[in-house]
Structure 1
C-alpha cells in the first residue's frame, strides 16, 4: 500500500455502544424463555421495537391465561427481532457517512449476541428461582428503558425521508423465497419432533425438496429472501457456524436446570 494512503479509521465507540446494547435483547430472551417454561432496519423502528418489548414484558406476568401469554411472547419476539437488523443497517450507514470500516462494530454485535445467548440460561434460572417465571419478562422492562435512552442520546440520527422508499422496499420483498423457506423449516421441525416417538418420514420428504428449491431460488432470484451466494464468504460462514455451536451449548446448559425443576 502506498505510504500516501492512510487506512480507514474504525467506527467510534459512541456509535457502537448504543447499537450493540439493543442486540442483546433477542438472544437473551430466546435463551431465558426455555428456563421459564417449567413454571409457565431505521432508528424509529428500533425505538418502536424497544417500546413494544417494554410494554409487553410488563403486561406478560399478568396474562389471564396461557394463550394471552403466548401472544405476549410473540409480540416480544417481534420487538426484539427489530434490533439486530436495524443495528446492522445503522452501522452500514454510519460507516458510509464517516468513511470508516464497520468491522469493529459488527464484531461488537456478534460478541453481544453470542455472549448473552450463553448467559441466558444462567440468568433465566436465577430470575425464575428468585421471582418465578414472571422474572424473565420483568427483566426486559429496565433493559428496554435503558436501551431506548442510550440510543436516543448517542445513536446516529435518522436519515432524511425519501419519496418512494416504502414502495421500493415492498418491491424487493421475495414472497416465493419466504414461502419455500417457511415450508422447508416447518417440515423439518415437525420431522425432528416426531423422532421422539414414531418418526414421520413423510415430513422429511417435504422438507428436503423444499430446502433444495429454497437454495435454487436463492441462487437465481434478483433479491432473494435467502441469498445463498453470501455463504461463499468465509467470514459469514464462520459466523453462522459459531452461532450454531453457541446455540447447542446454550441448549445443553439449560437442560440440567429444567431436569432439576421438573424433579
Structure 2
C-alpha cells in the first residue's frame, strides 16, 4: 500500500518524469538513423557494419526489457527506474569519446540497458499513482503512450539538427540532461517502493535465476540475429543454437523453484498470451508501413530521404493527438469495443496503403500516413491497458518487459519480410504484395480479438473496461 505521505506528492510530476524516461528508448531508436553516414565516415566502416549500431540497440532492448521488468518486480520499480537513468547518463556521457566503432556499439548496448527499466517500471507504478491521483489508468497510460510516440516522431528531426550542428556525438550527449530530469522527477515525486525483505547476496543471486536469464538472452539473441540476417544469406547455424538454448531455458524454468519466467503460470494466463501474440502481429503490420513506405517512396517515388521522412510525420502526429481520446474511449465504452474498433480501423488503414501503388503524390502519402495513425493510437493504448489488467500485480514489471519484447520481435519480422519482398526491387507490384501481407495479418489480429474472452475490471483501475483479450 502507498504510504499516506506519498499520496500528497504531485502525481502529474511523477507521470511526467516516468513518461520522459520511457521516451528515451524510442527516441534513441529513431534518432540514430541520421547518424549512420557520419559514423560510417568517422570510423571507416562499410554500410553493413554500421547497421550494427542499430542492431545492437534492438537486441539489447528486446532481451533487456523482460530482465529489467523482473528486477523491477524483485527490487522495486522506482529503484530500477532510477538505476536505469544513471546508466543512461553515464553511458551517454562517455560514448562520445569512443575511439572505435565497437566501443560505440557497446555504448548503444549500455544505453538500451539503461532505458529498458523505464517502461516496465512505469507500468508497475501505475496502480499506486492511479490510487493517489484518483485518475484512471487508461489516462495515465495514455500520457506514457504519447511520450513514446513523441519520442519516435521527433527522433529524426532532433537527431538531424544535432548531427548537423554538433556531430554524431550530440545524439548521445542530449540524453544526459533528459535522464537527469527523469531521475529527479521520479526521485522527488514518485511513490516509494514497498519495503522488501533484506536478503543475503548469495540468496538474491540464487533467487534471481541467473542461468535462466542467460538461456533466455541466448535464445532471443540467436533467434533475432537469424531473422535480421535472413536476407541475403541466412546464418543457418543460429537455428540449432536457438532451439538448444530455448529447450534449456524451458527445462530450467520448469525445474527451478524461483524461475525468471514462471512458464506454468504464463501458459495458464491465456489472456496474457493472446495479448503478446496480438501485439506482435500488430507491430508487424505497423512497422511494415513505418519501414516499408519510406523505402518505397525513395526507390519508386523519387523522394529524398529527408522528404520521405517528413511524409511519414502525420502518422506520429495523428497518433499523439488521438491517444488521449482513445484513453477516454476505453473509460466510456470499455476495453473490448475499443480493441475491436481499433483492429477494424487497422485493417482499413493497411488496405488503404495499396493506393500508393497507383500514386505517390505527396498529398496522397500524407493522407495515407495520417489514416494509419488512428488505429495505431487506439490499438496501442488499448493493448497497453489490456496488458495492465491481465498481468498479476506482482508480475507487472516482467509482463510489461515481455510486452515490449513483442514489439521488437514484430519490428524485426517486419524488416525481414520487407527485405524478402523488396529483394527483386521496390516496385508497385512488390509494394502491393507487402500491403497484402500486412492487411492479411491485420485480419488475423482482429479474428484473435473477436474470439477472445474479456474479463471485467474496476472503474478506476480499468476505466470501467473489460480487462483484456484472452
Q: Give the TM-score taking structure 2 as reference length.
A: 0.44
1:225 alignment counterpart? 261
- Equivalent residue for 1:46, pick from 64, 78, 81: 81
Matched-pair contact (CA < 8 Å) for 2:226–2:234: yes
Change beyond 3 A, Cα 1:84–1:32 = same
Alignment-derived partner of residue 6 in structure 1: none
1:150 corresponds to: 185
Kindly tell me: are residues 71 and 187 of structure 1, through their superposed partners in 2, closer, same or farther at Cα, counting changes over 3 Å?
closer
Give the Cα–Cα distance (whole angstroms) in 1 for the partners of residues 262 and 29 of structure 2.
22
After superposition, what is the alpha-carbon deviation per residue over 1:100-150, rounded to whole angstroms, capped at 9, x for unaligned? 753433343334334423443343334323332122112212212322232
What is aligned with 1:21? Answer: 20
CA gap of 1:224–1:142, structure 2 versus 1, over 3 A, is closer
**CA displacement at 1:52 relative to structure 2:** 2.6
Give secondary structure in 1 for the equivalent of 2:90.
helix
Q: Equivalents in 1 of 2:103, 2:237: separation in Å?
A: 33
CA contact (8 A) 2:11 2:189 kept: no
Given the superposition, is the C-alpha separation of residues 212 and 94 from structure 1 closer, same or farther in structure 2, using an over 3 Å criterion? same
Q: Tell me if structure 1 keeps the 8 A contact 2:14–2:186.
A: no
**Deviation by residue 1:157-185 (Cα, 9 ceiling, x = unmatched):** 34345333977764543445434433333
Question: Is there any run of 5+ residues in structure 1 with no aligned partner, and where?
Answer: 1-10
- Shift, 1:231, TM fit: 5.7
* Aligned residues of 2:11 and 2:132 also touching (Cα < 8 A): no
Structure 2: distance between partners of 1:130 and 1:49? 28
Instruction: State whether structure 2 residue 126 is matched by structure 1 residue 91.
Output: yes
Tell me what 1:71 maps to.
Answer: 106
Aligned length: 249
Q: CA deviation at 1:200?
A: 3.7
- Deviation of 1:25 (Å): 0.8
Q: Which runs of 5+ in 2 are unaligned?
A: 1-9, 40-71, 299-303, 307-470
- Paired residue for 1:133? 168
Deviates more, 1:43-52 or 1:202-211: 202-211
**Superposed counterparts of 1:167-206, under 5 Å:** 170-175=205-210, 177-206=212-241
Decide which structure has greater helix share. 2
> Are the aligned partners of 1:31 and 1:250 in contact in 2 as well (CA < 8 Å)?
no
1:110 and 2:110 correspond: no
